[in-house]
A = this chain, B = another copy of it.
């Protein structure tokens, strides 16, 4: 079953009865993405929460010079969406695409809200993962304000060790907020220390 991972993910925070699991799973649609394929583009309305089961996605925006700035990486067992657009149902500013061949499970906004209504446990689950994501993003705001690029890279290595050897360095540079050239220099200093 390809639903093991998502049920385990939910099971970390709430307990579901078998029929609740069945109901939940029945609302999911699976989608495969080739490397570089988009799940969402700027100015589109985000209509689903996505749970990654294989591969790796990312969300990012483009600045006025066309440079990419990465908001989130989503390896297997992570949720990803343009939360602003998903909540407001207004066109968003994020792109979401696949960094490698990937597979996601999609839950529509409508079904998600119906779940909240029918079974408050799901509202608890999404409250908790939203809280956790908020804590991580607040941490990141403070890190961007108070740490040097060297320190931010060290934090990234510490926090996401599995992604370091998995992702191209330019993607990591676009996440911590430096140019790939400067990250290359940082890594050289890192080796000698």
> Residues 117-141 of chain A: 1 if any B CB is under 8 Å from the residue's CB, otherwise 0?
0001001101100111111011111
- Stretch in A18-26, A27-35, A50-58, A63-71 touching the partner: A63-71
Interface residues of chain A: helix, strand, loop or mixed (majority): helix
A144 to B139 CA separation, bound complex (whole angstroms):
13
Interface check A61, CB cutoff 8 A: yes
A61 to B147 CA separation, bound complex (whole angstroms):
12
Residues from chain B with a CB closer than 8 A to the CB of A93 are 142
A70 to B141 CA separation, bound complex (whole angstroms):
9
Residues from chain B with a CB closer than 8 A to the CB of A140 are 141
Residues from chain B with a CB closer than 8 A to the CB of A1 are none
Residues from chain B with a CB closer than 8 A to the CB of A67 are 146
Interface check A177, CB cutoff 8 A: yes
Residues from chain B with a CB closer than 8 A to the CB of A182 are none
How distant is A170 from chain B, measured CB to nearest CB, in Å?
A: 14
14 A-B pairs in the complex with CB atoms less than 8 angstroms apart: A69-B142, A70-B145, A83-B131, A83-B134, A87-B131, A87-B135, A93-B142, A120-B123, A123-B127, A130-B131, A130-B134, A141-B144, A144-B144, A144-B177
